[in-house]
């Protein structure tokens, strides 16, 4: 089955800790994205990557880091510099062509204790 997987589904972090969220896709998509969703708000773009070894900051990149060493994988690290990390994190992927729609993984819910 083709799709996007994210792990873990739930994650708890103590203040001051870095945590890494996993995102893997087997859709052969070129581009991958990380979004954050807070209650009552739309999705906000954190980082995106068009190709391997290249990525761009989105609207709210501060306190986050990413890597894109493989086409299939785009992990997100939430660092201790992110002051309010409790949120629902969504990974998406798409072909990098005109008009191609983004498909989402199931999400990771991060809670800071």
Partner 1 sequence: QKEVEQNSGPLSVPEGAIASLNCTYSDRGSQSFFWYRQYSGKSPELIMFIYSNGDKEDGRFTAQLNKASQYVSLLIRDSQPSDSATYLCAVIEGRGYQKVTFGTGTKLQVIP
Q: Verify binding: residue 71, partner 1, rule CB under 8 A.
A: no
Task: For tokens 């993984």, name the residue.
Answer: 105
Residues 6+ apart with CB under 8 A from 29: 93, 94, 95, 103
Q: What mask, x for binding partner 1 by CB under 8 A, covers residues 18 to 47?
A: -------------x---x----xxxx-x--
Q: How far is the CB of 95 from partner 1 (least distance, A)?
A: 9
- Nearest partner of 111 among 46, 4, 1, 15, judged by Cα: 15
**Cα separation of 72 and 10, whole Å?**
22
Q: How many residues bind partner 1 (CB under 8 A)?
A: 24
User: Which residues bind to partner 1, rule: CB under 8 A?
Assistant: 31, 35, 40-43, 45, 48, 50, 58, 90, 94, 96-107
């Amino acid at each position: 089955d083709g799709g996007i997987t994210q792990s873990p589904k739930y994650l708890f972090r103590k203040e001051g800790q870095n945590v890494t969220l996993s995102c893997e896709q087997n859709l052969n998509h070129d581009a991958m994205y990380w979004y954050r969703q807070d209650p009552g708000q739309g999705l906000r773009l954190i980082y995106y990557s068009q190709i391997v070894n290249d990525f761009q900051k989105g609207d709210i990149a501060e306190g986050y880091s990413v890597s894109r060493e493989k086409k299939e994988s785009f992990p997100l690290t939430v660092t201790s510099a992110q002051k309010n990390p409790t949120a629902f994190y969504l990974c998406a992927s798409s072909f990098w062509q005109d008009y191609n729609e983004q498909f989402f993984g199931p999400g990771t819910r991060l809670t800071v204790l």
